[in-house]
A and B are shown apart, each in its own frame.
Chain A
Amino acid sequence: MTRFFLFTFLLAVPAIVLSVAAKIETGKAVTPLRVSRVCALLFGVFLAVAAIAAITGPHRIDLLSLLRQDGAAASPEHTIVFSVRIPRIILAAIVGATLSTAGAVFQGLLRNPLADPYILGISGGAAVGAVLGIIAGLDFLPFGIPVLAFLGSLVTIVLVFGVAGKRRESQSGTLLLSGVIVNAFCTAAIMFLISTASGTRLHGIMFWLMGDLGLADTSQTLLGGVALLAGFIVIYLHARDLNLLVIGEEQALQLGVDVEKTRRVLFFAASFITAAAVSLSGLIGFVGLLVPHIIRMIFGSDFRLLLPASFLFGATFLVAADTLARTALGPSELPVGVITALFGAPFFIYLLKKTEAGRCRF
């Protein structure tokens, strides 16, 4: 019963705040004040959701007793909240923020609303690396799987950009195509590896491929956070350039953007943070596609607001999804990617309907 109430809160808090924000924020130009106001609001939502997530789980937490014994780390409740749940919430936040930011960047760079962080094949390469690692039994090495996944995605990045090459004409199209092809190749390789894997490994492989936030330890989470922050700063410095790229490369040039350099920097930064996140969490789908669209429908397309808002809401979204993933079926966990897709897809369709094919804002 308590769990039911907590779930309701988990979904209701972001939904209510966003729909109120949608009413207030319609069609205003982006100013620093507006960016900080929206960010403060979304950060508040994040804190609320994170707090609910921290007290939700198979083991019931008595809030009063938790608060009363300050500093005494001995009690099991204290250990569960501070050593198990909060680190996992932080990881979910980092991964959600990363995927949403990268998704927004890729959608802008490729001028394609279907783009997500995995569109250029990063997921495929990471998956091949991770699956190889799991089959070889490297999952008990502290950095085994993440390092292999990261290397795998670096290889694909190099490959995809190598294939796309320096051809300037319709470079986006070439990039998309080579991303699709690399992903298809990787899928085949993964299927091959899976068909040779033994039964005990299969469970681990499946969880990795659907996303699992229970894998990383604190030092890995920390590295992911540092990568995200560095990447986000670089990306945000180019936020206005991204606006101009959305209207077309030639017009961006005519409005003063150094298009080639900007594209290179942004592709690299977004790919890098995606690779870092994927190596920690496996392939969590839908967040990177969905969150930028939700934010765009509510707050508009200006990247100076879209990027930080996607960052914060992406973190919130994945923390909520992961809380459902680890509690919905009692003590056994679901892969978080199942939740993001199961809840994300219908919600997205609802939003599309509500905003007349997603074009105007509500």
Chain B
Amino acid sequence: MPLLRVDNVSFRYGEQWVLRGIDFAVEKGDFLGIIGPNGSGKTTLLRVIDGILAPQEGSVLLEGAEIGKLRREALARSVAVVPQYSALAFPFSVEEVVLMGRAPHLGRWRFEGDEDHRIARKAMEMTDTLGLAARDMESLSGGERQRVLIARALAQEPRLMLLDEPTAFLDIRHQVDFFDRIRSLNRDRGLTVIAVTHDINLAAHYCDRIILLKDGRIGAAGPVEAVITEENIRKAYETRVMVDRHPGTGSPRITLT
């Protein structure tokens, strides 16, 4: 059984169909990228996968269980999301934010125990944020902040991690740092990752498989080499590009022409 199965999902806001007949599966250990032009339905698809939006047709199954029927708490124990950006209304320290990842594992009355502190500490170690533990979230740079959000997601001990354009506000050094960390979590710990991103080259560089969305439908899906082709990109983005091989890694690389 695949970890996640998106079964013929269609979704509309009001009368406007945003997703049509989306159908794919994600196996454990996959690193899936979702790309596509603005308005193609990437973020909507991510929200459907996370159960925040309920599709009018089709269903999303997490290990065979329909996501819409799970309680939020149970879902949060399996699926964690790293958002694009997080703005807190009141000051919280990095440690407090990472410990929030333990919330779905605690009952209503329970405080975080030793085990929860240990897990949060380990998540901070893996993301190099342990030294920031006592800092106020507001005082962090963009790159540090995204690392803290990965730590919080890791503290949830999820089986599936969703990334919602997590590097949109980062410079290239921090984009690479971010995705290097995610890939090593994927390779070394078998964490399953679905990443929505605007950056085709980043997706080509890090993902195993890619889904290219166009107008709410799957335009192309499969291994990176099969999806990132001049023709597919031109059709989806209505922009002419040149695709060649990255000289170092051999993964496809697009250049504007």
Give chain A's interface residues, CB within 8 Å of chain B: 27, 29-32, 107-108, 111-113, 237, 240, 243-244, 246-248, 250-251, 253-259, 296, 300-302, 304, 359-361
Contacts and interface: CB of A to CB of B under 8 A. Distances in A.
29 contacts: A27-B93, A27-B134, A29-B117, A108-B89, A112-B89, A243-B96, A243-B100, A244-B100, A246-B88, A247-B88, A247-B89, A251-B81, A251-B83, A253-B52, A254-B76, A255-B76, A255-B156, A256-B73, A256-B74, A257-B72, A258-B71, A259-B72, A300-B93, A300-B96, A301-B91, A301-B92, A302-B92, A304-B111, A360-B136
A251 B85 CA distance: 10
A302 B97 CA distance: 10
Given A246-B88, A251-B83, 8 more contacts: A27-B134, A240-B106, A255-B76, A255-B101, A255-B103, A255-B104, A259-B72, A360-B91
A254 B52 CA distance: 8
Contact of B90 (A27, A246, A254): A246
B111 A32 contact: yes
B86 interface: yes
B100 A255 contact: yes
Nearest to B89: A111
A304 B108 CA distance: 11
B89 A30 contact: no
Nearest to A301: B90
B138 interface: yes
A112 B74 CA distance: 29
A27 B87 CA distance: 20
A246 B103 contact: no
Nearest to A245: B89
A112 B134 CA distance: 24
B80 interface: yes
A239 B134 CA distance: 21
B136 A256 contact: no
**Most chain B CB atoms below 10 A, which of A30, A112, A240, A258:** A240
A32 B113 CA distance: 10
Interface residues of B, number: 40
Contacts of B106: 240
Contacts of A32: 111
Nearest to B108: A237
A246 B92 CA distance: 10
B50 interface: yes
A247 to B, nearest CB: 5
A296 B88 CA distance: 14
Nearest to A249: B52
Given A248-B86, A251-B83, A257-B72, A361 B91 contact: yes
Contacts of B163: none
A302 to B, nearest CB: 6
B138 A359 contact: yes
A338 to B, nearest CB: 29
Contacts of B71: 256, 258
Contacts of B112: 29, 31
B99 interface: yes
A307 to B, nearest CB: 13
Contacts of B93: 27, 29, 300
A179 to B, nearest CB: 17
A110 B96 CA distance: 20
B30 interface: no
Contacts of B75: 256
